[in-house]
Structure 1
Amino acid sequence: MRNSVFLLRNKALGVLTCLPLLASAQALAIAVPDKPHLVTQGHAEIKVAPDMATLSVKVTARQSDSLAAKEEVDTKVASLFSRLASLGVSKKDIDSGNVITRPDYQYSKDGDKPKLLGYHAERQISIRLYDLEHLSQTLNTVLEQGIQQIQQVNYGRRNSDQLRQQARLAAVAHAQELAEELSQAAGRELGDVYAIEYRAPRTNPAPRHYGALNIKMASEETLDASYVQNDIEFSDQVDVVFVLK
C-alpha cells in the first residue's frame, strides 16, 4: 500500500504533519458494522517552538524556632518578588503557596531519642516567564536570593488549547482523506461514518529537573547548546469506521 505524507505549513504554528495509518478493527477494539466497511486511523501532530516557561522553585530555611524559619522564608520570597518585578515579571504571573513549617529531627541508628536540629520552613513558588530570552537572567536572579531549589523548568505555549484543537481536527480530516483514497483505489464508494474512537494525545516533553542549583552551574548551563528547548509537539489520533457502499 502506498504511503503519503500531508504537510501544512504555517509560520505562526510551525509544521503540521499527517501520517496515514491503517489497522484492523480487532487491533483497535472499535465497533464495526456487519457489512462492508473500512477502518482508518487519522493522526496529526503540530510542532512549535515554546514561547513560555514555568519555573518551579522551593524557598526553604532552617532556624532554631518555627517563627524565625517562617520569617526567613517570607523575607526571601519578598526579595525575590521585588527582583522579579525589576525584570518585568508581573505578580499575576507568580503563584505562591502558603508557608509550611515542621520540626527537623536527627535520628540515631542506635535507637537513641531523636535530636531536634531546629525547624524547617518552605514555600512553593511558580513563576511564568513569557520572554524566554530572560530565562537565564531569571534563574540567576532566583539563585542570587539564596534560593537553591530550582526544581524544574516546564516549557509551554500560551495558545496550547488552540493547538490541541487544531491537531484533533486535523486527525479527523486525515482519517477521512485516507478513507477516500483507499475506497477509490478499491473501486468502492465511501458511505457514512459508523463509529469514531478517540485516542488520548501524546504527552508533551517532560520538564527539565534541576534540584539544588547554584549560580556557577546556571551560568555554565547557558553556554550549553542542550539548554535550548526542542519544539513542543501537540498530537492527536482517532480511529474511524466508514461504511462501504
Structure 2
Amino acid sequence: MRTTVLSTLSLLPLLISTTALAIAVPDKPHLVTQGQAEIRVAPDMATLSVGVTALKPDSRTAKEEVDTRVAALFSSLASLGVSKKDIDSGNIITRPDYQYGKNGNPPKLLGYQAERQISIRLYDLDLLSQALNKILEQGVQNIQQVSYGRRNADELRQQARLAAVANARELAEELSLAVDRKLGEVYAIEYQPSRSGAPPRHYGMMSSKMGSEEALDASYVQNEIEFSDQVQIVFNLN
C-alpha cells in the first residue's frame, strides 16, 4: 500500500475579501489549508458486467433461451468457485426488434429480443481469464465491462480521509510557526468526497478467440487502484 499526501494553502489577512472562497472564513486573521491524500493498492477483486441476450420469433421462446443460458452460466462459473451469492441477476426484459426500411418502407419485425443483465463478483483475480472464457463458452459475447476494487474499500477510503485531515493540520501548524503565530481553533471545514477506485475497462462484444488471447496474457489486469480524498480547513490565528 502506497500513501501520498499533497497540500495547498492560502494565508489570508483581515483585509482580503471572503467572496473569492467557497468556504466560510472568519472576519479576523486566519489560515486556510487544503490537505490531500492518495492511497494506491493492488485490487483484490473484480466485478464483471455482462448482458445475456437472445433473439427469437416470439417473446416466450426468447425468454426461455436467456433463462437457459443464465442457468448454464451459473453452473459453469460454479466450477471456478463462484457461488450464487456472488452473482446478481437482473429481471428479464423483452422487446420487439424491428428492421427499419429506407424510402419510407414500413419496419419489418425481426423477432423478439430478451435480455438479462448479470453482475459477477470475482475474488480471485488469477481466475479472471478463465471466468471470461467460461462466459464466452456459454455464448454470452456481450461482456460490457470489468471493474476492479477492494473488499476493504470503506476502510481505505476512511484512511485516505483521515490522512487528508492530518495533512491539512500538519501544514497549518508548520506555517503558523513560520510566521510566529499560534494556530487557533478550527473555524470551518469544507469536505466533498472524492471518487475513488479505478475506471472500469469496457469490452463490448467479444468472441471466444478474443477470450483465448486474453487468457494467454493476463497483463490487462489493473495494477493499482486509487483511493483519494481531500479536505479544506480554516484555522483561526492567534
Find 2:177's aligned residue among 165, 184, 208. Answer: 184
What TM-score, normalized by structure 2, do the two folds share? 0.93
Partner residue in 1 for 2:109: 116
Which of 135, 139, 143 in structure 1 is aligned with 2:128? 135
Give me the whole-angstrom Cα distance separating, in 1, the residues matched to 2:175 and 2:195.
27
Q: State the partner residue of 1:16.
A: 3
What amino acid is aligned across from residue 87 of structure 2 in structure 1? Answer: I
Q: Which residue of 2 aligns with 1:31?
A: 24
In structure 1, distance between residues paired with 2:120 and 2:218? 23
- Alignment pair present for 1:85 and 2:72: no
Q: What RMSD, in angstroms, separates the aligned Cα atoms of the two structures? A: 1.5
The change in CA–CA distance for 1:28 and 1:45 in structure 2 (over 3 A counts) is: farther
Aligned residues: 232
Aligned 1:199-238 pairs, distance under 5 A: 199-224=192-217, 226-238=219-231
CA shift at 1:225, angstroms? 6.4
Identity %: 73
Alpha-carbon deviations, 1:180-227, whole Å to 9, x = none? 011111111111011110133134331000000012112223445650
Q: Give the Cα separation in 1 of the matches to 2:21 and 2:160.
A: 20
Return the alpha-carbon distance in structure 2 between the equivalents of residues 141 and 156 of structure 1: 21
Counterpart Cα distance in 1 of 2:218 and 2:103: 49
Q: Which residue identity is paired with 1:15?
A: R
Query: Structure 1 residues 198-207 or 78-87, which shifts more?
Result: 198-207
List alignment gaps of at least 5 residues for structure 2: 12-17
* Residues 118-153 of structure 1: CA deviation (Å, up to 9, x unaligned): 111111100000000000000000000011100000
Report the CA distance between 1:35 and its aligned residue: 1.2
User: What residue number does 2:90 align with?
Assistant: 97
Equivalent-residue separation in structure 2 for 1:223 and 1:84 (angstroms): 19
Change (3 A) 1:129 1:27: farther
Counterpart secondary structure, 2:47: strand
Aligned to 2:168: 175
Q: Does structure 1 retain, via aligned residues, the 8 Å contact 2:43–2:222?
A: yes
Matched AA of 1:83? S
CA distance in 2, matches of 1:188, 1:142: 64
- Cross-structure match for 1:6: none
